[in-house]
Amino acid sequence: MHFSNSITIRRSVQDVFAYLSNFENIPTWNYAIAETQKTSGGPVGVGTTYRQTRSLPSPSEETFQVTEFEPDQRLAIHGGLGPFEGTLTYELQRVDEGTLLTNTADLEATGVLKLTAPLAAPRVRQAVAENLQKLKEILERSS
């Protein structure tokens, strides 16, 4: 499953990247995540690991690792993401209105979900778009 969503946020790329790269913020803008905790030491960068508690589609615990970290430009994570394994990439681009944020998902369903993943793709893409809209609202409200 591969898809992208883009949204323009009326904040600087520095502000958007700072908020995104503080992964403990995920539960504030992703309605399916209850808690995210850093599990490795040192500053956030490539190799940093996290554990998070998911409330939807069913309660579960998952882990992910930062695989790309280019300040104010690009951020990617890879790991177990709900019923999927894969990579989420966030690309930031400076535009007149603030920051164009593009989120790309490369996900593969595991187990029996492999059969129904193509049917779930539009709903997953829509859920990610809703989360990005919430992120936009939080960042623009705090400016």
Q: What does the pLDDT read at residue 115? A: 62
pLDDT of 24 higher than 80: yes
What is the full DSSP assignment across the chain?
-EEEEEEEESS-HHHHHHHHT-GGGHHHH-TTEEEEEE-S-SSSSTT-EEEEEE-SSS-EEEEEEEEEEETTTEEEEEEEETTEEEEEEEEEEEETTEEEEEEEEEEEE-TTHHHHHHHHHHHHHHHHHHHHHHHHHHHHHT-
What's the number of domains the chain is made of? Answer: 1
* pTM for the predicted model, two decimal places: 0.91
CATH no. for residue 31?
3.30.530.20
Q: Write out pLDDT tens, residues 47-67.
A: 999 999 999 878 899 999 999
Q: What does the pLDDT read at residue 143? A: 64
